[in-house]
Amino acid sequence: MESSRRISIIGWAVALTAFVLLWKFGEPVAKWAFDYPKAWIIPAARWISNALKWLLNDATFGLFTFTQLTRFIAAVVDVPYRAALSLLSTGLLSGQGSSAIQLLPPLSWISVIAIVGMIGHYAGGWRLALFAAGCFLFLAIFGQWNSAMVTLASILVAAPIGVIGGLLLGLAAYRWAQFEKALMPLLDLMQTIPVFAYLVPILFLFGFGPTAAIVATVIYAMPPMTRITILALRGVPSEVQELGHMIGCTRRQMTWRVMVPSARDSLMVGVNQVIMLSLNMVIIASMIGAGGLGFDVLAALRRLDIGAGLLAGLAIVALAVALDRLSQAMALKMGDFHADTGNKSFIARYPYLFVALLVIVATAVLGLAIPAIQTYPQTMTIASGTAIGRAVEWINVNYFDTLEAIKNTMLLNVLVPFKRFLGGLPWLGVTGLLAYAGWRLGGLRLALLVAVLAFLIAATGQWEKAMITVYLCGVSVVIAALIGIPIGIVSAERKQLWRVVQAIIDTLQTLPSFVYLMPAVMLFRVGDFTAMLAVVAYAIAPAIRYTALGLQKVEPRLIEAGRAMGCTKWQLLTKIKLKLALPDIMLGINQTIMFALSMLVITALVGTRDLGQEVYIALTKADTGRGLVAGLAVAFIAIIADRLIAAGAARTKIRLGLQ
C-alpha cells in the first residue's frame, strides 16, 4: 500500500516535470506542439457538411427518402401537439391560418386551474392541490396565461415522448449489453453538444415549427431518463427478480410486472429531470416556431423590459415547479392503489373525472354568456414589471462604482491571469498530461480515450477556443463549488432551510438565464465577468443539491458510532460525514461541469470568444459542419472531464471501502 502510493507520487512528479519542461523550453524547438499546424488540420467541418447534404438530399431507403421518413415522424408528432394546443389555447379549429373558424372554445382558465387542483388533491391532498392551483393562478393573474398554455401544450407532448423513449432505450440497454455499449457515447453527445449546433439540420429534416422544437427538446431531455432507467433496473433487489422467476413470469411479464414497478421510485427521478430539462429548452424552442413563454422572454429583453422578461421567466418556473411536484406525488400515489371496484356507479368510481367533466361543461356554457369565465379578463391582470426595472436602475445609479471595483479586482487577479496561463500551454503537453491522468485513474483504455478526444480538439483547429472554454467553465465551476458545497453542508440537516434552498435552486435551474443576463450586463458590462456570473448562477444548483443529498444519505449508525467515540461536531462533519458523502459530492461537481458547459451558448450572447461563440457564429452563417465541429469539441471536453472524475470517484469509493 505504502509503496504503491510512493510509485504513484513519483510517476506524477515525472509527468509534471516533463510537462513543465515542454511548456517552458519547448517552444523554440517544437513550435508545432504549441500551435497546431494549419496544414495538419482535419477538414472535419467540410466532411460533416457534405454528409449532411447527402442525408438531406439523396439518402434513401428505396421506397422513400430519409427526409420523407423524418417528415412522416414530424407529422405523427404533430397530431398530439395539435390536440393539446386546441384543448389549451386555440380551441377546436376548422381550416388553417387567418381563415380558420373556431368550432369549440379551448378549456376555460377556471377549468384548467380546477383540473390541476384536482390532480393535486388526488395525488397529494389539499396542500398540493392549493399549491398547484396557486401556480396556475399566478399565470392568469400576471397576464401570462395564453403563452403559458402554448408552452404547456408542447411540454405535454415532449415530456411523455422523452419519458417513454428514454424508458424503452433504457430497457433495451439493460437487456442487451452490446446495445448499451453503443448507446452510452451517443447519450453523452446528445447531452453535451449545444442544441444550436444541430438546430439547422433538424429544421430541414422535421420542418420549421413546433414539431422541430419538440424533437430538439426530446433529444436534449431524454438521456437522463435512459441513464436512470438502466441504473434503476440494476438496482432492483435480486430477491425480487428471483421471486419473479420462481412464479414463472414470462420475459414480458418480468419486465413490466416486476422490474419496472420495483424500480418506480428511481424512475420518477428521471421523469422529474425530463420535465425540468424540457422547460429549459423553452427559449430555444421559441426561436424555431414554438412560440409561448420563451418568445415573450426574448421579445421583452429585446426592448429591455426587464420586468416583463422576469415575469415571463417566472411563469416558466411556476409551470416547471407545478408539473414537477404533481408528477412526484403521482408516482408515490401509484404505489398504493386499491382494487376495490365493485358495483359502484360511474360517479362513485371516478369522482375526480366526474367533477372535472362537470367543471369543463359548466364553465364552457357559462363562458358563452360571461366571457370572463372563459378567458381571464385582461383588466384584472397585474402586468406591472416596472418596479424591477426601477430597482435595477437604482442599483445601477448608486452602486455601479462599487460593483465595477469588485469586477476589476476579480478580472485582473483571477480571470485574466488564468486565461493567459491556459492560452500559453502546449496542446501536446496537455494531451499527454490528460492521458497520464487517465492511465493512473482508470487504466489504459481511459488514457487512450482521453488522449484521442483531446487530440481531435487540436486536430480540428479548435484548441485555442477550447482553452478559453475551459478557462471560463473552470473558473465558474470552482466558484460554484466554493459557494455551493458549504450551502449544501449547512442546509443538509436543517429541514426548514433545506426547503427554502430547494425552492431557490429549482428556480435557478428553470429560470431562463437570459432573464438575469441582461441586468447583469447593465451592471457589469459585456465580457467574461458577466458570462461567469451567469454560468455560476446556473451551475451552482447541482453543487448544492448533491452535497446535501450525499450528507443526508450518510448512515445514522456511523454518526452514532462517531458520537460514541467522542467526536466533536466538527470532527463528525469532516472525518465521517464529508468523507462518506465524497462520492456524491464528486458526482455533484461532475454535474456542475456539465451544467457550466451547457451554458456556453448563452454566454456567447454577452460576447465571449469561446466554443459557444463559434457554434453561434456557425448558426448565423448556416454552416452546419462548422457548428457541429465546435459542438463536438464542447462534448469532448465534457466527456474528458466526466470520465476522469468518474474514475477518480470510483477509486475513492474503493479506498473508503464503500464498494
Partner 1 sequence: MNRARRFLLGCTSALMLSVAAGSVPAFSQESTDPIKLTLHDWTGQLITTHIMGEVLKKGGYNVDYVQADYLAQFAGLETGDLDVAMEMWETTGRDAMDAATATGKVENFGPTGMKAKEEWWYPEYMKEKCPGLPNWEALKDEKCAEAFSTAETAPKGRYLGGPVTWGGFDDERVEALGLPFEVVHAGTDAALFAELESAYQRKAPIMLWIYAPHWAPSKYKGEWVEFPQYTKECYTDPAWGSNPDALYDCGKPFGEIWKVGWVGVKDKWPGAYKAIKAFTLDNDEMGQMITKVDLEGKSVDDVVAEWMGKNEARWSDWIKK
When the beta carbons of 242 and 404 are compared against partner 1, the nearer one is 404
Q: Which stretch binds partner 1 (CB under 8 A): 11-19, 75-83, 494-502, 603-611?
A: 603-611
Q: Is 314 in the site for partner 1 (CB under 8 A)?
A: no
When the beta carbons of 204 and 498 are compared against partner 1, the nearer one is 204
Q: Is 608 in the site for partner 1 (CB under 8 A)?
A: yes
- HSE value, Cβ hemisphere, 13 Å, CA-based, for 553: 16
> Could you tell me the smallest distance in angstroms from the CB atom of residue 247 to partner 1?
54
DSSP 222: S
DSSP 263: T
When the beta carbons of 81 and 514 are compared against partner 1, the nearer one is 514
d(CA 328, CA 114): 19
CB 310 within 8 A of CB 512: no
Buried-exposed string 393-427: b where 16+ CB fall within 10 A, e elsewhere: eeeeeeeeeeeeeebeebbeeebeebbeebeebbb
Among 603, 626, 628, 640, binds partner 1 (CB under 8 A): 603
Among 370, 406, 526, 561, binds partner 1 (CB under 8 A): 526
> Could you tell me the smallest distance in angstroms from the CB atom of residue 67 to partner 1?
9
> Could you tell me the smallest distance in angstroms from the CB atom of residue 395 to partner 1?
10
475-514 binders of partner 1 (CB under 8 A): 514
Among 51, 184, 231, 299, binds partner 1 (CB under 8 A): 299
For 94, the 3-state DSSP assignment is strand
User: Comparing C-alpha atoms, which of 644, 283, 320 is closest to residue 454?
Assistant: 644
Which residues, listed in sequence order, are joined to residue 358 by a DSSP beta bridge?
A: none
d(CA 182, CA 66): 22
613-642 binders of partner 1 (CB under 8 A): 613, 616-617, 619-622
| C-alpha dihedral, 628 to 634 to 637 to 642, nearest 10° | -100
x-marked contacts with partner 1 along 250-289 as a string, rule CB under 8 A: ------------------------------------xxxx
d(CA 233, CA 566): 41
d(CA 127, CA 433): 55
Q: Is 40 in the site for partner 1 (CB under 8 A)?
A: no
When the beta carbons of 96 and 496 are compared against partner 1, the nearer one is 96
Q: Which stretch binds partner 1 (CB under 8 A): 343-351, 591-599, 612-620, 634-642?
A: 612-620
Among 474, 527, 562, 648, binds partner 1 (CB under 8 A): 527
> Could you tell me the smallest distance in angstroms from the CB atom of residue 396 to partner 1?
5
Q: Which stretch binds partner 1 (CB under 8 A): 169-177, 367-375, 393-401, 587-595?
A: 393-401
170-229 binders of partner 1 (CB under 8 A): 199-200, 203-204, 207-209
Please, which residues have CB within 8 angstroms of residue 126's CB and are 6 or more apart in sequence?
none
CB atoms under 10 Å from CB of 607, counted, come to: 14
d(CA 224, CA 246): 32
CB atoms under 10 Å from CB of 647, counted, come to: 18
When the beta carbons of 51 and 490 are compared against partner 1, the nearer one is 51
Q: Is 126 in the site for partner 1 (CB under 8 A)?
A: no
Among 82, 525, 563, 653, binds partner 1 (CB under 8 A): 525
66-95 binders of partner 1 (CB under 8 A): 95
CB 450 within 8 A of CB 509: no
Q: Is 301 in the site for partner 1 (CB under 8 A)?
A: yes
d(CA 147, CA 233): 38
Which residues, listed in sequence order, are joined to residue 62 by a DSSP beta bridge?
A: none
d(CA 651, CA 653): 5
When the beta carbons of 496 and 620 are compared against partner 1, the nearer one is 620
Positions in the binding site for partner 1 (CB under 8 A):
95-99, 199-200, 203-204, 207-209, 286-291, 295, 298-299, 301-304, 393, 396-397, 400, 404, 408, 411, 514, 517-519, 521-523, 525-527, 603-608, 613, 616-617, 619-622
